[in-house]
Chain A
């Protein structure tokens, strides 16, 4: 099973700033996925990141707000730009091996 390391594990940020979250996988994967979990809510898919191409964003999420990099098959970053308190959430990266999904421990972001 894939092992996913995510950092930072948590951060408190000022509104208007940006935070980049890193996700490292211990094996090469074609697709990586970024999710957001708002307080008390379920996980919502932000985008799918493929190596060598632009990320595919879900409805309600845009590249200017959540730029994603995927420089190789084991690494991806998600940036939360121009943050506001509404961006306070847990952000998780995920990969799929065969048909099972694996998750990092998440980044708990608080915007003040």
Chain B
């Protein structure tokens, strides 16, 4: 399979709560990216973390990367109803040019 694993597949939380999504991948990577997609529309790039980085922040987003476990997590703090979307991790494997996507997590934030 091209895809890595993401969990949970779906997540429903109340506005104001934090949302954590996890991603695992199969090969060594140059970097890992997280994307958001609203209702089957285009992809919005959220954050990129390089293989030599362990944590990165951007606004309410916090991404961690553990290359020894081949896993990453995306934390959205103080979630809002507008955060309702599907979230995908995507890896750039070492020595390659493709971008490989995880299965995605559907996040629903209830107002």
- Give the nearest-CB partner of B90 in chain A: A101
| Residues of A with C-beta under 8 A to B54 | none
Interface residue ranges of B1-20 to A (CB < 8 Å): 2-3
Interface of A is mostly: strand
Does the CB pair A99–B40 fall under 8 Å? Answer: no
Does the CB pair B102–A42 fall under 8 Å? Answer: yes
| Residues of B with C-beta under 8 A to A101 | 33, 45, 90, 92, 99
| Residues of B with C-beta under 8 A to A105 | 41-42
- A72 located at the interface, meaning its Cβ lies under 8 Å from any Cβ of chain B in the complex: no
| Residues of B with C-beta under 8 A to A35 | 101
Interface residue ranges of B41-57 to A (CB < 8 Å): 41-43, 45, 48, 50
Given A106-B42, A108-B40, A100–B104 Cβ distance below 8 Å?
no
Q: Per a CB cutoff under 8 Å, which of B2, B45, B101 touches A58?
A: B2
Q: How far is the CB of B104 from chain A (nearest CB, A)?
A: 5
Interface size (B, Cβ < 8 Å)? 23
Does the CB pair B42–A104 fall under 8 Å? Answer: yes
- Give the nearest-CB partner of A106 in chain B: B42
- Give the nearest-CB partner of A104 in chain B: B42
- A57 located at the interface, meaning its Cβ lies under 8 Å from any Cβ of chain B in the complex: no
Sample (15) of A-B pairs whose CB atoms are under 8 Å apart: A33-B98, A35-B101, A37-B40, A39-B40, A42-B88, A42-B103, A43-B43, A90-B40, A92-B42, A96-B97, A99-B30, A99-B50, A100-B48, A101-B90, A106-B42
Write the residues of chain A forming the contact surface with B, with a CB cutoff of 8 angstroms.
Answer: 31, 33, 35, 37, 39, 41-45, 48, 58, 90, 92, 94, 96, 99-106, 108
